[in-house]
Structure 1
Amino acid sequence: MFAMTTPAAALPAPVPAPVRARRAAHAVALCVLPSGLWRIAMASGVYVGYSDQVLREVFDIPGWGIAYVVGLSVLTELAALFPLLLVSDRWQPLRPRTLGALARTASGVLVLVALWQIVVAFTVDSRTYMSSDAAMAVWACAFAPLFAVPVLMTMVTWSYTKRHRVHGTTT
């Protein structure tokens, strides 16, 4: 007559992310910021070391180049905020298995994007268009933190995957 029901077994609470993984996740977002701000300054007309002629002919600024440069900066920063989701205990929009697969994919993409930007930044064309050594130094300081992104993102993803495998929420 009366069916006895038992409450669903509670899922084990995931172990909080280690402090080093939290710091690495925040560092990823901060490492991408200088190059993004440099590109936005370039799109805004702030002198970043390129002559007006180079901006017009090579980068199409003003023009469609502005949308490209700002869009690249926004997309890169949004991708760099993703690691914060992996170390957050408050908000998990996806199941751990799905988020883990997404984390590994995003890690690979972020690593490739960071490496691609470094390669593009250090190509002969980029450097030959710079008009002064001071501009080159500022440019190098803006793009140098990208070298850390692959290592930091790999650390965050590895930590997330390890934490959720231990508790049986990811296979």
Structure 2
Amino acid sequence: MTTATVPPATLTAAPVWARRAAHAIPLCALPSSLWRIAMASGVYVGYSDQVLRDVYDIPGWGIAYVVGLSVLAELAALLPLLLVSDRWRRLRPGALAASAWTASGILVLVALWQLVVAFTVESQTYMSSGTAQTLWAFAFAPLFAIPVLMTAVTWSYAKRHRAWKQAQPLEGA
């Protein structure tokens, strides 16, 4: 008597390390977002009032830009949670597979873009003190971890999706 193995209907659960990495990504984006929101709110972050007015147009449209950038960065940082969530296992895993690498690439580019903009000479020269630059560096330093974490989470999802796809019966057989 032979027993047939039934292929899994849904994707297997994400490993613990992938879940932790996915939860760490929004936490890595949070300090820089809070720093930008503080800047938009008028809290002293190292820029003089004149620099905020002339360069960043705060108060003005610069507030919408800075707050919008913070909101978009946090929303993008929440995307990896979709790849490790149990709620999405009921859906067809192929629904997220095509967008997993795209989301990973976009989030990595956004994080790197923020770092490039933040570390430009022009941005550094407007800071008024070494203490402000140190605080700024601590706020933006966690962004360096996002590309590595996002790539690991996406790789884990792709690996689990590939195993799920191979376990599916061939159509028409």
Same fold per superposition (TM over 0.5): yes
The answer on 1:30 being equivalent to 2:5 is: no
Aligned residues: 163
Q: Runs of 5+ in structure 2 lacking a partner?
A: 1-5, 169-173
Question: Which residue pairs with 2:83 in the alignment?
Answer: 86
Residue 167 of structure 1: how far off its partner (Å): 1.2
Question: Which residue pairs with 2:60 in the alignment?
Answer: 63
8 Å CA contact 2:11, 2:93 repeated in 1:
no
Question: Which residue pairs with 2:93 in the alignment?
Answer: 96
Residue 38 of structure 1: SS of its match in structure 2? helix
- Identity score, percent: 74
The answer on 1:108 being equivalent to 2:69 is: no
Residue 16 of structure 1: SS of its match in structure 2? coil
**1:122, 1:170 → 2: CA distance?**
47
Task: For residues 122-161 of structure 1, give each alpha carbon's deviation from its aligned partner in whole angstroms, at most 9, with x where no partner exists.
Answer: 0001100000000000000000000000000000001001
Question: Which residue pairs with 2:71 in the alignment?
Answer: 74
**1:60, 1:144 → 2: CA distance?**
25
Task: For residues 74-111 of structure 1, give each alpha carbon's deviation from its aligned partner in whole angstroms, at most 9, with x where no partner exists.
Answer: 01100100101110012358632231111110100010
Residue 34 of structure 1: how far off its partner (Å): 0.2
**1:153, 1:124 → 2: CA distance?**
28
**1:32, 1:170 → 2: CA distance?**
36
> Which residue, out of 15, 21, 26, partners 2:12?
15
Q: Runs of 5+ in structure 1 lacking a partner?
A: 1-8
8 Å CA contact 2:10, 2:90 repeated in 1:
no
8 Å CA contact 1:164, 1:170 repeated in 2:
no
**2:46, 2:126 → 1: CA distance?**
8
RMSD value over aligned CA atoms? 1.9
Distance 1:32 1:169, change over 3 A: farther
What code does the residue aligned with 1:58 have?
V
**1:71, 1:39 → 2: CA distance?**
10
Question: Which residue pairs with 1:153 in the alignment?
Answer: 150
**1:18, 1:63 → 2: CA distance?**
46
8 Å CA contact 2:10, 2:93 repeated in 1:
no
